Homo-oligomer: A and B are copies of this chain.
Amino acid sequence: MSRLWDRLMRLAEIGARGDGGVDRQALTPGEIEAWHLVLRWAEEAGLEAATDDAGNLFLTRPGRDRTLPPAVIGSHLDTQPNGGKFDGAWGVLAALEAVADPGFIPARDISVVAWSNEEGSRFAPGMTGSEAFAGVRSLAAIRALRDAEGVLLGDALDTLHAAFPHLPRLPLDRDFAFCIEPHIEQATLLEEAGLPIGIVTGIQGKITWEITLEGEEGHAGTRDMALRRDAVMGFARMAARMQREVGEADPIVKFTIGRVQVVPNAPSVIAGRVVFRIDLRHPDNAALEAHGARLEAIAAAEAAPCRVTIARLVHAPSNTFDEGLRARLAATATRLGLPHRELLSAAGHDARHMAPRCPTAMIFIPCRGGISHSPLEWAEPAHVEAGAALLAATVKELCA
């Protein structure tokens, strides 16, 4: 097998689960160990390592003119608690291969990036590294996030930085020449078409909400039904109608209520509070907004006799990646003999936050059955190599 494949398997040992999956969540000792390993590989290749206040990692091949904005390629090193070996990791290691040749002196700096906390499983919502970099969220707001144990993201970030005292800190909000993020598809379009390469046209839009229903606790055996303000019943009414009027009303929309917290959650107590999360996605911004407005109207209409609070957490419209960069990727893929197609990303990626700042694109490779965020996640070695070859060739053309 290739060095890239060997490194993917070696990296997957850090946080390895017994079932073949990887649990290497953001800002954990596992991620620190992963940095040590990747920094060793970067040093062997003669790359310059640096971080920034948001915990992003940059490994830079110096170019001939160091005053030019760097090109940036890469993805993330953190995983879901039930993650796999390829989500994020492949993008970083493929980028490392693209600048590994010490004989290649690019026209400008090329930085391999590992964005901090893409997954958002420990500290939610995620993409904190790219959002802090791009000014989408403030560093202060990000540092104030807490994990389930109450640990501040800011404290975990300080622990990470303390483990690498020699790394210089680059500023946030720097200019880039262009950005390319390689990633597994996490869906089945490429697999179904039998293609090794996808060139991503954009990322579907996403809105998330936290909805809080405040009712009144009471005794399950005595309280008159007519007098109840039962937060679970409010939730059920609301969720069932949202599913009918949004989830089942559009073949493209993705509507999910994945987290529901009931208080006090005791079998014989009428629930006084339910807090739940809505995740809504759509590639068309007008449809996304229309469905979002409908969900908010249903939440308001079905709440009584409970009180409802509707809070939008994430509002990321769909975006379109740079047409010139997409055309360049397509031409290079054709030159390399790699069959490819354009496709839309259903999942979010850090590249979303670079797209408004510089020409940005993504390269997808297939993953088996579209399965991701699962120990079953798998990418074929031939696809892993094909995607990395396309990235390397494109970067060499653009930075010759």
Contacts and interface: CB of A to CB of B under 8 A. Distances in A.
B267 A125 contact: yes
Interface string A114-127: 00000111001110
Interface string A276-308: 010101000000000000000000000000000
Chain copies in complex: 2
Query: Taking each of A226, A247, A281, A374, which has the highest tally of chain B beta carbons within 10 Å of its own beta carbon?
Result: A374
Given A82-B269, A243-B236, A268-B121, A218 B257 contact: no
Interface in A100-138: 119-121, 124-126
Interface in A63-93: 80-82
A198 to B, nearest CB: 13
Interface in A251-266: 251, 253-262, 264-266
A18 interface: no
A186 interface: yes
B233 A235 contact: no
Interface residues of A, number: 69
A268 B221 contact: no
Contacts of A264: 80-82, 121, 258
A222 B268 CA distance: 38
Given A251-B226, A269-B373, A221 B204 contact: yes
A80 B218 CA distance: 11
Contacts of A218: 371-374
Contacts of A267: 120-121, 124-125, 208, 258-259, 277, 279
A266 B80 contact: yes
Given A239-B233, A347-B222, A348-B221, A262 B265 contact: no
A336 interface: no
A268 B258 contact: yes
A158 interface: no
A370 interface: yes
B260 A266 contact: no
9 contacts: A120-B268, A121-B264, A185-B222, A226-B251, A232-B260, A236-B239, A236-B257, A258-B271, A267-B279
The 9 A-B pairs at the shortest CB distance, nearest first, are namely A236-B239, A220-B256, A221-B347, A267-B277, A222-B346, A187-B222, A240-B240, A236-B240, A220-B279
Interface of A: 80-82, 119-121, 124-126, 185-187, 204, 206, 208, 217-226, 230, 232-233, 235-241, 243, 247-248, 251, 253-262, 264-272, 277, 279, 281, 346-348, 370-374
